[in-house]
Structure 1
């Protein structure tokens, strides 16, 4: 098979809009020398060090994330309000204000080419292992490919992780109010695996306040809520059941 056929067949193995990582191309037998030759022949072009696109194709941030998930086996994914927005759970948020929130494990970094490329959006990336990377994610169709994004329960926990500095609590509660059909088993699994006491206490407090049916199936005895009190605000209201102090605006929210 000649080189042109080889690269064409390989480029066609990925859906349109997907980025090709140099590391992945090298693993599949395309040396740097060969890639530079393909670049000269105008079959591919570079969008930053370590990332390529086929000629005539324009990268999308979803296509870049697909490459990180599928080619580099990273767990970096749309989370928080971005995931909720992509899943149609919130209609007034993030994507309209040109901002995306991504989460990955504590040891995972977004590559420099991803951070430097102009996606037309502000990218907020949080690396944390407060939730395991193998639960609470779902496939979401993005045109020609599927992307792993946080499911609604995990996405709300990611929002709560950012409270109070990067995320307003009352907005989290408004999101919680809309999540009336979460699966109790999924919620239980996430709460048991979550290592953030703040997230667990807030999630349970909000679920109970919202009066969701699924909350009745939560087994609190299996969830470690830590010791001591947690205060998220000054001059707030203390919720003795969950040992947290929340803003008055939240406790009085109807």
Structure 2
């Protein structure tokens, strides 16, 4: 392949792996030679970009998502990070510089990513009872000034992901409660499908308590009798009151007699 043809195929601001280059007819040896002659820039073991282009955490996620050809992302920006990308950042804490990625159980971040500073701090969470193939899980996000898009969690999936990895002590913190206050545009049909497919009883019960407290119109359109909410009582906070509707302990401020 001619060099200019290859460079035209690498999206501006993206990182590509040796596997991606191989799928475009460039061997590892050729990639090393292109890096040696200044056409490509090596960013770590098995990862390259076009020389001189600015890189961000999105550049790295592009490389990680294109390493999989199943049509479903092996990992993706989710939780607080996805909510921020969808415009809910003003409800999240200032200075949040961690990128929250979610992925299938076996997925690990590659070593080259831990050696670069431009990607910032990344935390990889497992999907925690939210299967990757659930409908309404992902949407495309195009970073500013880049020539590629990423698959990221929809707001509906992102809020469930955030709850799933939040310890009980922080479930009813102002961070989550305030965020829920701003989530008035969530889609009830998409939420219903995700909740029906979610395998974590804890995530579903906590979500429903927080959603009820926020009082948005979409909460009234959810069909909670169709959800598997498990059996028995669950303690979600110390010293709380037992919520009669969802059978979890909640802070006094969230309590609502049935």
Alignment counterpart, residue 199 of structure 1, candidates 203, 213, 220: 203
Contact 2:140 2:149 in 1 (8 A): yes
Matched, 1:242 2:246: yes
Residue 115 (structure 1) shift: 2.7
Give the distance between the partners of 2:187 and 2:132, measured in 1 at CA.
19
* Unpaired runs of at least 5, structure 1: none
Counterpart for residue 33 of structure 1: 29
Residue 106 (structure 1) shift: 1.3
Contact 2:128 2:164 in 1 (8 A): no
Runs of 4+ in 1 over 4 A off after TM superposition: 165-168, 249-252
1:7-46 equivalent positions in 2, closer than 5 A:
7-46=3-42
Alignment counterpart, residue 149 of structure 1, candidates 139, 148, 152: 152
Query: Which region of structure 1 is more displaced relative to structure 2, 46-55 or 166-175?
Result: 166-175
Contact 1:79 1:101 in 2 (8 A): yes
- TM-score (normalised: structure 2): 0.88
Alignment counterpart, residue 213 of structure 1, candidates 203, 217, 229: 217
- Distance change (3 Å), C-alpha of 1:209 and 1:166: closer
Residue 58 (structure 1) shift: 2.7
The alignment covers a number of residue pairs equal to: 248
**RCO higher in 1 or 2 (8 Å CA, sep ≥ 6)?**
2
- TM-score (normalised: structure 1): 0.89
* Unpaired runs of at least 5, structure 2: none
Look up the SS of the partner of 1:229 in the other structure: coil
- Distance change (3 Å), C-alpha of 1:14 and 1:166: farther
- Distance change (3 Å), C-alpha of 1:117 and 1:169: farther
Deviations 1:199-247 (A, max 9, x none): 1001111112222211122112221111222112221222121111123
Query: Which region of structure 1 is more displaced relative to structure 2, 187-196 or 121-130?
Result: 121-130
Look up the SS of the partner of 2:225 in the other structure: helix
Look up the SS of the partner of 2:29 in the other structure: helix
